[in-house]
Structure 1
Amino acid sequence: MAKKTKPKAKPERKFQPLRWLKRWVIRLCLIAMIVPVGVVAAHSVLNPPKGHYMRQEAKRLGGIDHHWVSADRIAPVMLRSVVAAEDAGFCGHWGFDMNAIRAALADGTGRGASTLTQQVVKNAYLWHGRNWSRKALEAVLTPVVELFWSKRRILEVYLNVAEFDEGIFGIEAASQHYFGVTPAKLSPLQAARLAAILPAPKDRSASRPSNYVRKRTSQIIDGAETIRRDGRADCFES
């Protein structure tokens, strides 16, 4: 009778710290990419929570006026006005307006090139400031937002997180604060006034407009009508 041979013992694997570290670095990098993408994707249908700046202002002021309202309850002219004022090429880009970026670099200021999508990313997910770390995160998240959100959704979130005066956030609070009406009742003049103050809401007033705000309001009214006529509003109105 043949003798049974014992199975050979498997050689013990030596712990290799560098290989272990590399594996965990890869895993953490994957998690760092997957989690933000999942959050952005979820916010294509779920409303994002208050952003960092909004929470800061609420703490500083002891509270803010902010009430979420869907795009269907905002006058279409308000959507057109903010596009005309802030990002006329909104329907034609994927989050970055390359023409505006080139123009801003050419004049040496670097300003005026931020799209509505970039502003949404900053207000909803990041913090205010011009440091490179924030700009880098903004550059990463902007195309993700464009991938998962419709253009109408981007405008809806933008109008709900934008600051319109000290402690006044979102179009619902702004419409009531300045004009005593709901966003659905905004006239073309009122919508253009609100869009005109957005770059500097603490220094400008929609109800007591300066000469500059009046002039800018007229330009925005013309611009909003132009993008309605030439089809540049189709991506967020259809």
Structure 2
Amino acid sequence: MMITGCFIGLTSIFYYGAMQYLPASLAIILMFQFVWIGILLEWIFSKIKPAPVTVLSIVLILIGVFFASNILNGSIQGLPFKGFLFGILSAFTYAGFIFFSGKVAINVDPWTRTSLMATGSTILVLALFMRDIPSVLPLETNLLTTAVGVSLFGAVLPPLFFAVGAPQVSGGIANILTSIELPVAILSASLILSETITPIQWLGTAIILAAIALNELGSTFFRVRKHING
């Protein structure tokens, strides 16, 4: 469970690294590639071959990314490659977290699981950034307030709520609910960070969300239909 938590620590490192070089709206879109990466992990490690509807969903996700990244307006030209690399790495580590969190100690109490995952994540982050800690000491009030907010809403509450809520619904519904993070993050980037979100980007976001819903609900629909016809 602590090793699984390390994936969340890596996701935070890569995602915040991406935001140093990219707009927040683009960074979250790159991280959201965890959807098709997770499908790929299931295929490789669990030998679950993606259904035709899943392949269609992946294609739609890639089309959505094309529009959401605002390539048509040339807005990504000149942005550092390092930012895109960090963004994609955050997608891989987040996909790893979701994949392994569904396989490891699933019957353990959610509070215990979350605590151990957060501990593993903390140990990893401290090990990687230990020598940088003296440079931020003593902690200023603004930095401390930001750190508490980011850690609470970014590393503590999400895994806890996910651990508590995911077993209460089907896996497909859980993934669809998780996908709501995308429009919320982009809307927050627009309202809080004053980033300009074009209609084309909103179209791309809508396509990504529709693709996720199609993959989860479509697969269930075809399984039920096959069972009825059988």
Question: Does TM-score exceed 0.5, indicating one fold?
Answer: no
Rg larger in structure: 1
The TM tier, using the shorter chain, reads: under 0.3
Higher relative contact order (CA closer than 8 Å, sequence separation 6+): 2
Q: TM-score, normalized by length of structure 2?
A: 0.27
Q: TM-score, normalized by length of structure 1?
A: 0.26
More helix by share: 2
